[in-house]
């Protein structure tokens, strides 16, 4: 269906004219045509998401899986923006080990984790709003390469995508004097009851935010964060287990084609179909991975229980490794109040059982990684 999704206006900077796009407020007008195909996709995606959300109720420690998904999403979302950091690099950085890539790459990923966690925590006291978006952005850019790009502040100058200047850019978002009106309309949509279910609203909000492009840097990462935050805010997810960055990364060309079709032709239906397909695929993959991770931990516990009299202390160390998959002996001694010989013996047994690997080569101050857990976490995150 052909509809107007916004308007182009001619602007001139330093004597060079260019076309900037000002999106129409949400929801689309005329409304989306939710035919049998889209409704079928919505139903399938909703059921997959419900199954994923339900698995959290049966996990012995849901925080373990938040650890997995938040960090995996942080790595993938940052890779889309050009960082070379892998999940292994992030885990090494968090364990005070030197990663295998430039430190600013890993800092960007670590800031993404902090930004997402802040957003989730703030939803308890603050609605999804422009204020919260700015807070998230401030944390996201606090120490990475974008720290000189006004963290936490909406842009006060024109930006563009593609090309070398405004005159030959692939896409130019709204000028600053129009941008604030667009953001106000987006916030109104976030706070207004809608005929559309939350999944479709999340897809709409992502496109609108990306089109407005309100920051000098970090727009893509914030736009992807908004999807999860909106679904959590509206009660679709009780835990933030859905992240679409891997789907967007693997289907990048179609992602840009669908965004451009919304702007050029008002083709929201094609975008929503693509978005729901992503939700379904990612939710199914996350459900399978979560079940597999839970099974892996139980298999390893059974292996440890067969280790005789030392099994009790080894199980304690294993439990700590499920929360932090790289640990030093000193950290374990302090946290578990066990003696150093007991901890060293536990790690020796875990290493002989093939569950951990010592990564320093030192005789003292040794550091161990939970090999299978890190491998499972890192799947799909290599640059």
Residues in Cβ contact with 182 at an 8 Å cutoff, skipping those fewer than 6 apart: 22, 23, 25, 174, 208, 212
pLDDT at 288: 86
Cis preceding-peptide flag for 27 (omega within 30 of 0) = yes
Helix (H) or strand (E) holding 288: helix 268-305
From residue 234, alpha-carbon distances to 101, 124, 183, 191, 230 in Å are 38, 12, 20, 11, 6
Q: What pLDDT score was predicted for residue 180?
A: 96
Is the bond preceding 367 in cis, omega lying within 30 degrees of 0? no
Where does residue 317 fall: left (phi above 0), alpha (psi -120 to 50 degrees), or beta otherwise?
alpha
Query: Which of these CATH numbers, 2.60.40.1180, 2.70.98.40, 1.10.3290.10, 1.10.3720.10, describes 6-289?
Result: 1.10.3290.10
Instruction: Return the pLDDT at 82.
Output: 61
Residue bearing the bigger pLDDT, 14 or 261: 261
- The kind and range of the H/E element at 254 are helix 252-265
**Structural domain spans, the chain:** 6-289, 306-378
| Contact predicate 116/74, CB 8 Å | yes
173, 171, 180, 138: which is closest to 158 by C-alpha?
173
Lowest mean pLDDT among 93-107, 114-128, 223-237, 346-360: 93-107
Cβ-based burial of 325 (10 A; exposed 0-12, middle 13-18, buried ≥19):
buried
> Which two three-digit tokens encode residue 303?
């292996």
The pLDDT of residue 211 is 97
Which residue shows structure tokens 């990364």? Answer: 249
Q: Is the per-residue pLDDT at 281 higher than 60?
A: yes
| Predicted pLDDT of residue 137 | 96
Residue % of the chain over a pLDDT of 70 = 87
pLDDT level of residue 102 (50, 70, 90 thresholds): low
Determine how many CB atoms are found less than 10 A away from the CB of residue 97: 16
Does residue 114 carry a pLDDT above 70? yes
Residue 97 pLDDT more than 60?
Answer: no
pLDDT-derived band at 273, boundaries 50, 70, 90: very high
> Is 98 a residue whose pLDDT tops 60?
no
Domain 306-378: CATH class, spelled out: mainly alpha
- Judged on CB neighbours under 10 Å (0-12, 13-18, 19+), 303 is middle
Q: Write out pLDDT tens, residues 8-34.
A: 999 988 778 999 999 999 999 999 999
pLDDT of 100 reads: 54
Q: What are phi and psi of 126, to 5 degrees?
A: -140, 130
- Give the per-residue pLDDT at 13: 80
The model's pTM = 0.86
Select from 284, 346, 303, 302 the least CA-distant residue to 321.
Answer: 346
> Which pLDDT belongs to residue 279?
96
For all residues of the chain together, what is the average pLDDT? Answer: 87
What is the average per-residue pLDDT within 152-160?
Answer: 94
Residue 143's pLDDT is 79
Q: What are the tens digits of pLDDT across the range 329-345? A: 998 999 999 999 999 99
Q: How confident is the model at residue 376 (pLDDT cuts 50, 70, 90)?
A: confident
Q: How far is CA 260 from the centre of its chain?
A: 23
pLDDT of residue 253: 93
pLDDT confidence band for 159 (50 / 70 / 90) = very high
- What's the pLDDT tens digit per position in 31-72? 999 999 999 999 999 999 999 888 766 666 666 666 666 777
Average pLDDT over residues 198-209: 97
How many CA atoms lie less than 13 Å away from 169 in the CB half-sphere? 16
pLDDT for the residue 103: 59
Give the closest residue to 174 by CA, choosing from 114, 303, 166.
166
Q: Which pLDDT belongs to residue 383?
A: 53
pLDDT of residue 65: 64
Supply the pLDDT for residue 234.
92
- pLDDT, one tens digit per residue, over 180-191 is 999 999 999 999
What's the mean pLDDT in 151-155? Answer: 95
């Amino acid at each position: 269906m052909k509809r107007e999704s916004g308007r182009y206006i001619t602007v001139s900077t330093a004597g060079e004219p260019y076309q900037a796009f000002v999106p129409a407020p949400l929801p689309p007008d005329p409304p989306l045509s939710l035919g049998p195909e889209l409704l079928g996709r919505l139903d399938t995606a909703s059921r997959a998401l419900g199954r994923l959300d339900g698995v959290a109720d049966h996990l012995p420690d849901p925080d373990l899986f938040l650890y997995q998904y938040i960090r995996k999403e942080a790595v993938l979302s940052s890779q889309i923006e050009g960082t070379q950091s892998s999940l292994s690099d992030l885990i090494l950085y968090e364990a005070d080990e030197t990663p295998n890539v430039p430190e600013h790459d890993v800092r960007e990923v670590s800031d993404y984790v902090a930004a997402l966690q802040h957003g989730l925590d703030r939803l308890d006291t603050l609605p999804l709003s422009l204020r919260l978006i700015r807070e998230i952005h401030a944390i996201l850019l606090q120490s990475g390469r974008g720290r000189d790009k006004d963290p936490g502040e909406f842009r006060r100058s024109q930006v563009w995508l593609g090309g070398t200047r405004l005159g030959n850019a692939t896409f130019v978002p709204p000028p600053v004097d129009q941008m604030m009106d667009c953001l106000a309309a987006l916030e109104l949509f976030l706070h207004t009851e809608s005929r559309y279910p939350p999944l479709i609203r999340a897809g709409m909000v992502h496109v609108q935010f990306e089109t407005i492009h309100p920051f000098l840097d970090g727009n893509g990462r914030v736009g992807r964060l908004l999807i999860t935050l909106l679904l959590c805010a509206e009660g679709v997810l009780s835990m933030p287990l859905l992240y679409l960055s891997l789907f967007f990364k693997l289907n990048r060309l179609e992602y840009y084609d669908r965004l451009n079709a919304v702007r050029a032709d008002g083709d929201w239906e094609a975008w929503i179909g693509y978005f729901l397909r992503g939700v379904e695929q990612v939710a199914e993959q996350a459900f399978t991975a979560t079940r597999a991770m839970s099974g892996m931990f139980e298999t390893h516990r059974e292996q440890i229980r067969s280790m005789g009299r030392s099994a009790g202390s080894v199980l304690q160390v294993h439990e700590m490794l499920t929360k932090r998959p790289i640990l030093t002996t000193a950290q374990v001694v302090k946290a578990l109040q066990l003696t150093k010989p007991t901890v060293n013996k536990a790690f020796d047994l875990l290493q002989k059982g093939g569950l951990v690997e010592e990564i320093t080569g030192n005789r003292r101050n040794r550091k161990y990684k939970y090999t299978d857990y890190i491998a499972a976490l890192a799947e799909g995150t290599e640059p």
